[in-house]
């Protein structure tokens, strides 16, 4: 591991285990050109995702997803991550060398294939992945709730495939990214109650939850 990355790892561990143990991690990104914000609480194993349509709180430990309702009343549904993608094409990710610095972080350049077809270019960061891994799981939960996307294999790449070899600083095509990380903070201080599950919510089925406008943008 390069010295710079090693020092950043030590700084992150110190922030998470030391005097700022309640600090969260913040990812600011762009998904298909739309801004997305992810706040990760590794202690509670929760991830808050915010976009232009609202917010979704994924409680990975409790197996719940809460989203804003159009009437102001939160909706909640039980949703556990179901491992395994046996029905997916045989994706593979191959390294091609060092990449540029993106969002202030070093990257490595990979190419993602479905069979022999080139699907995407990836700029991945390996050392950040263990810290940001809950965000990848939260996005996988939301993908499973929404169901498989149509189209060919390259149009239905799960986020977990992008993140298999490291956190995606950029995924898609270099001239048209599907996902791009724009900023990462390891010392984010959540506002009071920002990462708390709603005390009052309407429990709904996954089929009802997926109709909420906020999930249309994830």
Q: Convert the pLDDT of each residue in 25-43 to its tens digit.
A: 999 999 988 899 999 999 9
Residue 165: strand pairing partners: none
Angstrom distance (rounded) from CA 130 to CA 138: 14
Q: Please check the confidence at residue 213 and state whether its pLDDT lies above 90.
A: no
Asked whether the CA dihedral 72, 59, 13, 136 is positive or negative, the reply is: negative
In the 3-class helix/strand/coil scheme, how is 116-128 assigned residue by residue? CEEEEEEEEECCC
- Encoded tokens for 43: 């202690």
DSSP state of 199: S
Only one residue has tokens 């969260």, namely: 24
Q: Are 157 and 148 in contact (CB under 8 A)?
A: no
pLDDT of amino acid 69: 83
pLDDT of amino acid 217: 59
pLDDT of amino acid 4: 46
pLDDT of amino acid 189: 94
Q: Please check the confidence at residue 14 and state whether its pLDDT lies above 50.
A: no
Q: Is the pTM of this model over 0.75?
A: yes
């Amino acid at each position: 591991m390069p010295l710079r990355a090693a020092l950043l790892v030590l700084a992150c561990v110190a922030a998470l285990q030391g005097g700022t143990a309640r600090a969260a991690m913040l990812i600011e990104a762009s998904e298909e050109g739309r801004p997305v914000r992810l706040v990760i609480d590794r202690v509670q194993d929760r991830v808050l995702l915010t976009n232009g349509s609202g917010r979704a709180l994924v409680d990975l430990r409790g197996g719940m997803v809460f989203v804003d309702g159009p009437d102001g009343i939160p909706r909640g549904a039980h949703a556990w991550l179901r491992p395994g993608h046996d029905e997916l094409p045989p994706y593979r990710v191959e390294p091609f060398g060092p990449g540029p610095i993106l969002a202030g972080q070093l990257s490595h350049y990979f190419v993602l294939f479905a069979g022999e077809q080139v699907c995407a270019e990836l700029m991945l960061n390996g050392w950040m992945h263990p810290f940001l891994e809950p965000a990848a799981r939260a996005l996988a939960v939301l993908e499973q709730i929404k169901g498989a996307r149509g189209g060919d294999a390259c149009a239905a790449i799960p986020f977990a495939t992008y993140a298999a070899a490291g956190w995606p600083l950029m995924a898609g095509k270099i001239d048209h990214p599907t996902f791009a990380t724009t900023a990462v903070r390891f010392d984010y201080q959540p506002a009071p109650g920002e990462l708390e599950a709603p005390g009052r919510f309407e429990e709904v089925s996954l089929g009802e939850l997926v109709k909420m406008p906020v999930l249309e943008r994830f």
